[in-house]
Amino acid sequence: MIVAQGNITLFNPSSPMQEPDPGYGQLFGVLMRRKIWFLGALAGTIALAAGVTAFMPPTYRSTMQMLIESNYRERRTPGDNSVSFADPNVETDTATQVNLMRSTPLLQRAVDELKPRYSDIDVDRLTRRLNIVQVQELRGNERVNTNIVEMSYIDHDRVKTREVLKALQRVYQDYNLEQQRNRLAKGLSFIDRQIPQVQAKVDKAEADLEQFRKSSNLVDPEDQSRALVESLRELQKDQQSNRGELASAQARFSALQQQLARSPEQATIASRLSQSRQYQALLAEIQKTEVALAQQQTRFTAKTPFVQQLLDQRERQVALLQQEAQRVLGSEASSIAGSDAGLFSTGQLGENDLKFASDLTQAQVDFFAARARDQSLVAEAQRLQAQLQRFPTLLAEYNRLLPTVKLQRDTLDQLEKARQELGLEIARGGFDWQVVEQSKVGRQVGPNWMRNLMVGAAGGLLLGCVAAFLRESADKSIRTSEDLTKQASIPLIGMVPELPLSELMPTTNFAFGRSTNAGDTSMLQVLHWAPFRESLDLIYKNLQLMTDGSPMRSLVVTSALAGEGKSTVALGLAISAARLHQRVLLIDADLRRPGLHHQLQLPNDHGLSTLLTSDRALTQSAIQPASTYSDLPISVLTAGPTPTDSVKLLSSKRMRDLMTVFEQHYDLVILDAPPVLGIVDALLAASFCDGALLVGRMGHVDRNQVSQAVGMLSRLNLVGVVANCSESGHSYYYRSAPTPA
């Protein structure tokens, strides 16, 4: 039956089919089709393996197990954190020891020992037949390697297998003892070479530390940095206190300066001149002269001798006053020189002004002293901060040098201790190799029939698959519906299953209410076989869906070659259409080799050929009911007597007129036409029909023939292709249906 899921596009059958990927089902189908090739290659390979095994000489296998443990390992005593030194070149892992056992020098020693007794032995043969593996054990869900090594040797001489393993045992143990001494001695020499190097590193580290202390003038930078930080903290406190005193002195100085209305320099000059008796006496004389001058100027003019005399006297007195100011003030006298008013007013301070001037001078001194101390404290703080800025670098360098010295000293101490311990280790030996299981006389392990046959079977499976696929690739015939669709490049309308021989029952009950026995024809069983019937129903339904609403009144069914089942498909389509209440006419259009009347057991005295050669009107007597196969109203027009020129009849106007009449009286007219290739009859019949259906039988027609047939029918209304005898034609419904009890 037709599989409705993947091969037909029901609502758009004209859409191109996508080529499916080859799956396991297709590969298995190839093996089943070419099972003779597959089974032949498999049987031949197994037979060859059995023959080779039968002529193989017996082989024997002897085993020996050795425990490899290292005594030369790290030891700790309770409460002691020191770690004993060991030679870093000592190999302690078992895998490395196994690789060492397989090395050519050791095997050569064993060969030299065995050569007097077994002259045929050499390193290559020993390597091929010797197997050394680590023994594994199961810990939880994981297999882990142990320190036990299993050695096995295979040979045709059972005694030789044991002797070879004994020789290897002696070689391994002797070599192990030699290597223990050599490695431990090498470890001692390594320490002896390391001690001077480490001592030199200690000396260099100590010299670097000493040079650092001298260059930085520091013994312990950490202690000195803490002292500097403390000094800076005390200095900052003094700064805060001094800045309070500075602010107080500045405020007092400003207040006194406002009261005196003089600058501190002017107040100092006025105070000194006011306290000078000579200066004050000269001022008094000048005042007297000015009084007398004022009196004379009221009486006389400026040119009179009396006035001139007083003016000269005043000038002499002013000059003396300037000299006195120069004497008292020194270089500061220039600030009041050039002005008589300045000389007179500067030196005339009262007692209170003198006290204010003295206080202003003292306030200025206090202010300058506080400011100078503040500047000194700031400078000192900057100096300390500058020193502290050096300390991170110094501390980093110090902290780098000091651990280096300590590390090198500790390393030197540990090397000295390790040298003593290694002296004891040399006396005890480094490794312990113990034979866990001695070698015995070999037991037979070959030839292994099961293994050889399994290998032969595996090779046979591979060779059989290769042979089957090579044969399949050489076969050009179409085997699957997918190949047919791909080659035809037209829609697949459906698939018709191949009838198994087991389905041909002696007596069969059919869905149309009829029964048969073994004497009836096989065509009856095919037409009423449920999977076949359902597949034709689906094919007919797909044909209806492809018409896009306009009914298909006539259809020609043909194939590329003869024997592809086109007549069976045509008859099945007629029955399916009749089951759907259609008036169906089935015409045998094969005028050369008609066969439909034989299958339907109908007379063939009158048929299509007589209608085409006669000008009489169409009579119903020429059309016969197919009551032999069902109670459904199926009309059949046989081919009739074989004409001399079928091409002339099928291409005549009479044929066209008959088809017009048939389409008027029937819902569907089906023509069973001859094959397409080789003759033109099918093309002539198809030219009078609404559509053409190509039937391809799987395994019967090849790709080129399908392509040729499609190319010839493509100019006509070729609606699709039907895959006959398809292995996938059975529907899932029938494959999965339970067997009746």
Residues 253 and 339 grouped into a single domain: yes
The confidence score (pLDDT) of residue 515 equals 45
Domain membership of residue 394 (yes or no) is no
Q: Quick one: CA dihedral 202, 204, 208, 214, positive or negative?
A: positive
The confidence score (pLDDT) of residue 594 equals 92
Q: Is residue 521 predicted with pLDDT exceeding 60?
A: no
The confidence score (pLDDT) of residue 340 equals 55
Domain membership of residue 214 (yes or no) is no
Residue that wins the pLDDT comparison between 221 and 104: 104
Per DSSP bridges, beta strands 492-497 and 634-637 are unpaired
Q: Is residue 469 predicted with pLDDT exceeding 90?
A: no
The confidence score (pLDDT) of residue 1 equals 32
Residue that wins the pLDDT comparison between 174 and 433: 174
The residues with which 291 forms a beta bridge, in sequence order, are none
Residues 428 and 375 grouped into a single domain: no
For residues 376-381, give the mean pLDDT. 71
Task: Read off the tokens for 124.
Answer: 């290559």
Residue 545 near residue 13 (C-beta atoms within 8 A) = yes
- pLDDT bin (cut points 50, 70, 90) of residue 11 is very low
| Least confident window among 43-47, 55-59, 358-362, 551-555 | 358-362
User: How far apart are the C-alpha atoms of 11 and 2, rounded to whole Å?
Assistant: 16
Q: Is residue 476 predicted with pLDDT exceeding 60?
A: yes
User: How far apart are the C-alpha atoms of 199 and 319, rounded to whole Å?
Assistant: 93
Which stretches of 429-521 are DSSP H helices? 449-474, 481-488
Q: Give 554-571 pLDDT, tens digit per residue.
A: 999 999 888 888 888 999
Task: Name 239's Cβ contacts closer than 8 Å, sequence gap at least 6.
Answer: 374, 377, 378, 381
For residues 490-516, give the mean pLDDT. 60
For residues 94-119, give the mean pLDDT. 87
Q: Give 570-605 pLDDT, tens digit per residue.
A: 998 998 898 888 899 999 999 999 988 888 888 888
Residues 48 and 69 grouped into a single domain: no
Residues 554 and 617 grouped into a single domain: yes
The confidence score (pLDDT) of residue 73 equals 52
Task: Name 739's Cβ contacts closer than 8 Å, sequence gap at least 6.
Answer: none
Amino acid present at 291: V
Residues 622 and 714 grouped into a single domain: yes
For residues 452-465, give the mean pLDDT. 86
194-198, 246-250, 286-290, 452-456 — which one is most confidently predicted on average? 452-456
For residues 57-66, give the mean pLDDT. 90
Q: Is residue 533 predicted with pLDDT exceeding 50?
A: yes
Task: Read off the tokens for 370.
Answer: 């506080």
Q: Quick one: CA dihedral 302, 306, 312, 313, positive or negative?
A: negative
For residues 404-408, give the mean pLDDT. 78
Domain membership of residue 623 (yes or no) is yes
- pLDDT bin (cut points 50, 70, 90) of residue 15 is very low
CATH of the domain at 428: 3.30.1890
For residues 398-426, give the mean pLDDT. 76
For residues 346-357, give the mean pLDDT. 55
The confidence score (pLDDT) of residue 673 equals 92
> How many domains does the structure of the chain reveal?
4
CA 84 to chain centre: 45
For residues 284-291, give the mean pLDDT. 70
For residues 419-436, give the mean pLDDT. 69
User: How far apart are the C-alpha atoms of 101 and 116, rounded to whole Å?
Assistant: 22
Q: Is residue 288 predicted with pLDDT exceeding 80?
A: no
Domain membership of residue 321 (yes or no) is yes
190-204, 226-240, 369-383, 446-460 — which one is most confidently predicted on average? 446-460
The confidence score (pLDDT) of residue 675 equals 93
| Least confident window among 185-199, 202-216, 493-507 | 493-507
The confidence score (pLDDT) of residue 372 equals 75
Instruction: Give Cα separations from 147 to 94, 190, 428, 488 (angstroms).
Output: 6, 28, 21, 69
Per DSSP bridges, beta strands 515-516 and 584-588 are unpaired
Residue that wins the pLDDT comparison between 693 and 452: 693
Q: Is residue 660 predicted with pLDDT exceeding 60?
A: yes
CATH of the domain at 586: 3.40.50.300
Residues 548 and 458 grouped into a single domain: no
- Of 384, 376, 381, the residue nearest 226 (C-alpha): 384
Q: Is residue 638 predicted with pLDDT exceeding 80?
A: yes
For residues 678-682, give the mean pLDDT. 88
Residue that wins the pLDDT comparison between 368 and 264: 368
Q: Is residue 424 predicted with pLDDT exceeding 90?
A: no
Domain membership of residue 220 (yes or no) is no
Mean pLDDT of the chain: 74
The confidence score (pLDDT) of residue 343 equals 54
Residues 349 and 425 grouped into a single domain: no
The residues with which 705 forms a beta bridge, in sequence order, are none
- pLDDT bin (cut points 50, 70, 90) of residue 626 is low
- pLDDT bin (cut points 50, 70, 90) of residue 186 is confident
Residues 590 and 653 grouped into a single domain: yes
Share of the chain above pLDDT 90, in %: 8
User: How far apart are the C-alpha atoms of 357 and 267, rounded to whole Å?
Assistant: 5
Q: Is residue 328 predicted with pLDDT exceeding 70?
A: no
**Coil/strand/helix, residue 730:** coil
Domain membership of residue 223 (yes or no) is no
User: How far apart are the C-alpha atoms of 590 and 674, rounded to whole Å?
Assistant: 5
For residues 40-51, give the mean pLDDT. 86
The residues with which 610 forms a beta bridge, in sequence order, are none
DSSP 8-state assignment for residue 377:
H
Q: Quick one: CA dihedral 565, 566, 571, 574, positive or negative?
A: positive
Q: Give 312-322 pLDDT, tens digit per residue.
A: 777 776 766 66
> What number of CA atoms fall less than 13 Å from residue 699's CA on the CB side?
11
Which stretches of 489-607 are DSSP H helices? 522-528, 530-545, 566-579, 596-600
Task: Read off the tokens for 634.
Answer: 């199926």
Q: Is residue 117 predicted with pLDDT exceeding 70?
A: yes
Residues 114 and 142 grouped into a single domain: yes
Residues 453 and 498 grouped into a single domain: no
Residues 307 and 359 grouped into a single domain: yes
User: How far apart are the C-alpha atoms of 150 and 64, rounded to whole Å?
Assistant: 6
| Least confident window among 39-43, 109-113, 211-215, 328-332 | 328-332
Q: Is residue 19 predicted with pLDDT exceeding 50?
A: no
For residues 90-117, give the mean pLDDT. 83
The confidence score (pLDDT) of residue 668 equals 92
Number of residues written out for the chain: 741
For residues 481-506, give the mean pLDDT. 71
| Least confident window among 7-11, 276-280, 508-512 | 7-11
For residues 475-502, give the mean pLDDT. 74
Domain membership of residue 641 (yes or no) is yes
Helices (H) and strands (E) counted in the chain, each on its own, are: 24, 15
Q: What is the 3-state secondary structure (H, E, C) of 644-690?
A: CCHHHHHCCHHHHHHHHHHHHHCCEEEEECCCCCCCCHHHHHHCCCC
Q: Is residue 49 predicted with pLDDT exceeding 80?
A: yes
Domain membership of residue 115 (yes or no) is yes
**Coil/strand/helix, residue 391:** helix
For residues 641-654, give the mean pLDDT. 90
399-403, 473-477, 717-721 — which one is most confidently predicted on average? 717-721
- pLDDT bin (cut points 50, 70, 90) of residue 518 is very low
Residues 462 and 570 grouped into a single domain: no
Domain that holds residue 115: 59-74+82-200+417-444
Residue that wins the pLDDT comparison between 279 and 182: 182
The confidence score (pLDDT) of residue 136 equals 85
